[in-house]
Amino acid sequence: MTQVSLAKDRIKFLLLEGVHESAVEILKQRGYHNIEYIKTALTEDELCSKISDAHFVGIRSRTELSDRVFAAAEKLIGVGCFCIGTNQVDLQAARRHGVVVFNAPFSNTRSVAELVLAEIIMLLRRVPEKNAAAHRGGWDKSAAGSYEARGKVLGIVGYGHIGSQLSILAEQLGMQVRFYDIESKLPLGNAHAVGSLDELLQQADVVTLHVPETAQTQWMIDAPQLAKMKKGALLINASRGTVVVIDALAEALRSGHLAGAAIDVFPVEPGSNNEVFESPLRQLDNCILTPHVGGSTQEAQENIGVEVAGKLAHYSDNGSTLSAVNFPEVSLPAHHGARRLLHIHENRPGMLTRINQLLAEQSINVSGQYLQTDADLGYVVIDIDTPAESDIADTLLDAMRAIEGTIRARVLY
Ligand SMILES: NC(=O)C1=CN([C@@H]2O[C@H](COP(=O)(O)OP(=O)(O)OC[C@H]3O[C@@H](n4cnc5c(N)ncnc54)[C@H](O)[C@@H]3O)[C@@H](O)[C@H]2O)C=CC1
Ligand SMILES: O=C(O)C(=O)COP(=O)(O)O
């Protein structure tokens, strides 16, 4: 357990994977200038040494924050995923270490939907093969295997923020949209839900995947699922690289069972733009390969930078965990004229009683108290009235830290 009640210039932000400069601007506007900015992802070993003095870390989809990294991150209080997916973070380990994790749940969703829409048209028109041939001096002027999108069946797996936006866009092109989701979802426009993944695979001319990485979605599309797809169908994956078994897809493309594919995410992705991209799909002209850029537009990245940096600064300044992905959510008013104590603890009986006993013993007036718990974690925020020159908040903090079951405690001045 570590003390984090510092002047802003001593609170360190480690920003990785070239997050948009809007993040840096927001942090500076909020008074945080101690920022280390790195353009690439780091390996676990590199992270373990870099993260040891960071209070906040900002990552994208490539940086793995494992239990070992959290154990090495002694001062860490918050993680910002400047993206949607949080599968790269061990969220349980973060909780055990009292580290709050935020993300940007929808800022890049339109960008992904637009890319997929473009890929549907390109694949239906056999542009990848014709483009590759033309670059080699070929001239394949033929309508064989080329189709309009109008009237074709688009099968969307995962009808969340991205899948549902794509649904609307694809209907504008005259596609018939069907989707499969494990949750009950409102079908937009004329789209309709089907009862199982197999049904969707059997019906669709184009299948596109928009699910998160979970135990259930891992290797969800393997040889048996590909075999269920219509002959000549198309597959698009801009979700996570672990959803599709690449060797099985390569075989389906080679055999001609699938006419084409567009893949943006891979089981193993390079950590920087200087590394070589390896994949059996490199050999296949009927496959559009993009380097995990579904969400990489100027608009999306700038908005994500503002959104996530804002959430981190707000947590640092105010203690609010609103919209955190791994923590009890507490939305807090500003704490003008009070000191704010933040206490993260294991959810054991009597925790709040013990904290309040400490306050009562010191005859401290509490002007606000906010508690939120879940099955095994509690987060309590206490505003106390103390004269500016008093060091009672520090004394209290030490006493609160001594309570068994405390994970982390800090004070906001
Ligand atoms: N290529 C890229 O650059 C990007 C990739 N992504 C990926 O796309 C994923 C989806 O993003 P959103 O649509 O914003 O997420 P979302 O959370 O809004 O939607 C995901 C949907 O998938 C459904 N789902 C979960 N497990 C399922 C299963 N086993 N079978 C069928 N449906 C299932 C959920 O119920 C939900 O409706 C993200 O989790 C992320 O991994 C997101 C942004 C950019
Ligand atoms: O938002 C997501 O989940 C993405 O996959 C985008 O990841 P990125 O920020 O481009 O590494």
Tokens, residue 342: 């933040």
- 399 Cα–ligand 1 center, Å: 44
pLDDT score of 4 more than 60:
no
- Which residues does residue 244 pair with via DSSP β-bridges, in sequence order? 221
Q: Where are the beta strands (DSSP E) in 10-77?
A: 13-15, 35-37, 56-59
Tokens, residue 213: 């990485």
Residue nearest to atom 7 of ligand 1 (CA): 239
What is the CB neighbour count within 10 angstroms for residue 193? 16
The pLDDT tens digits for 145-193 are 999 999 999 999 999 999 999 999 999 999 999 999 999 999 999 999 9
pLDDT (0 to 100) of residue 5: 57
The pLDDT tens digits for 114-147 are 999 999 999 999 999 999 999 999 999 999 999 9
| Pocket-testing residue among 188, 210, 214, ligand 1, by greatest number of atoms within 8 A of Cβ | 210
- 254 Cα–ligand 1 center, Å: 28
Which range, of 185-199, 206-220, 379-393, averages the lowest pLDDT?
379-393
The pLDDT tens digits for 287-316 are 999 999 999 999 999 999 999 999 999 999
pLDDT (0 to 100) of residue 164: 98
pLDDT (0 to 100) of residue 336: 83
User: Residues with Cβ within 6 A of ligand 1?
Assistant: 84-85, 108-109, 112, 157-163, 180-183, 210-214, 216-217, 238-240, 264-265, 292, 294-295
Spatial neighbors of 195 by CB under 8 A, at least 6 apart, are 180
Q: CA–CA separation, 319 vs 344, rounded Å?
A: 11
* Ligand 2 in reach of 300 Cβ (< 6 A): no
Tokens 């009640």, located at residue:
5
- Comparing CA positions, the residue from 236, 261, 277, 215 lying closest to residue 62 is 277
pLDDT (0 to 100) of residue 390: 75
Section 199-211 average pLDDT: 98
The pLDDT tens digits for 227-263 are 999 999 999 999 999 999 999 999 999 999 999 999 9
Would you say 250 and 243 are in contact if contact means Cβ atoms under 8 Å apart? Answer: no
pLDDT score of 2 more than 60:
no
Section 194-210 average pLDDT: 98
CA atoms within 13 A on the CB side of 73: 31
Q: Give the ligand whose atoms come closest to the C-alpha of residue 210.
A: 1
pLDDT (0 to 100) of residue 335: 84
* Ligand 2 in reach of 84 Cβ (< 6 A): yes
**Full DSSP string of 35-82:** EEE-SS---HHHHHHHGGG-SEEEE-TT--B-HHHHHH-TT--EEEES
Helix ranges, 229-366 (H):
246-255, 298-318, 351-361
pLDDT (0 to 100) of residue 3: 41
The pLDDT tens digits for 382-405 are 999 887 667 788 888 899 999 999
pLDDT score of 6 more than 80:
no
Q: What is the pTM of this model?
A: 0.95
What is the CB neighbour count within 10 angstroms for residue 45? 11
C-alpha to C-alpha distances, 371 to 118, 328, 383, 408, nearest whole angstrom: 47, 9, 12, 15
Section 338-346 average pLDDT: 93
Backbone angles phi, psi at 188, to 5 degrees: -90, 150
The answer to whether residue 292 is catalytic is yes
